[in-house]
Amino acid sequence: MYRLERQVDIAIDADTLWQFIATPRNLDQITPPELKFRIISDVPDQMYDGLLIRYQISIPLFGKREWLTEISDIVPGESFVDTQLEGPYKSWRHFHKLEPIGGDSSRMIDRIDYELPFGPVGALTHDLIVRRQLEEIFDYREKALREIFLLADT
């Protein structure tokens, strides 16, 4: 089992940031275009506990895959979890948390606990490729969030 933790401070109030991340259709705006992310299930305007989201994503090494995620443990305005039910990982649990940090700024904290299939081969693949790819995805996400909310201010 591996863990990736990231946090980003954004000059936007926590309520506005929550409204953005609680809207499933916004996920494509913070996903790198090369992953060819596409939601293929019907999704509501706002997420809710038990929401299932099916999407396609092209992941290096795994190819084009469908992924089924369940949204759970929602604390409105504060946190939620998405868990992979079907997809390329042996397990994937992504905890999202928002907290105000003063003024009109917020901190978004991500903690992902995940496991790759294929035992020792999966571990080697993680060390050589997967960890770096996940870091790059979250680097993109941070940059995209900053651009989205910078543009929102103009």
User: Which position has the higher pLDDT, 39 or 120?
Assistant: 39
- Please check the confidence at residue 151 and state whether its pLDDT lies above 70: no
Q: Is the pTM of this model over 0.85?
A: yes
Q: Which residues pair with 55 in a beta bridge?
A: 39, 67
Instruction: Give the model's pLDDT for residue 27.
Output: 93
Owning domain of residue 14: 2-153
**CA–CA separation, 64 and 109 (whole Å):** 28
Q: Which residues pair with 82 in a beta bridge?
A: 71, 94
Give the CATH number for residue 67. Answer: 3.30.530.20
**CA–CA separation, 92 and 13 (whole Å):** 29
Q: Which of 145, 154, 129, 149 is nearest to 32 (CA)?
A: 145
Number of domains in the chain: 1
User: Which position has the higher pLDDT, 92 or 65?
Assistant: 92
Residue 151: other Cβ atoms inside 10 A: 8
pLDDT digits (tens, 9 = 90+) for 99-109: 999 888 999 99
pLDDT digits (tens, 9 = 90+) for 24-68: 999 999 999 999 999 999 999 999 999 999 999 997 766 788 999
What mean pLDDT value characterizes the chain?
Answer: 92
Instruction: Give the model's pLDDT for residue 61.
Output: 66
Over range 113-139, report the average pLDDT: 90
Which two three-digit tokens encode residue 95? Answer: 């905890």
In the structure, what pLDDT confidence band is assigned to residue 154 with cuts at 50, 70 and 90?
A: very low
Contact 27, 11 (CB under 8 A): no
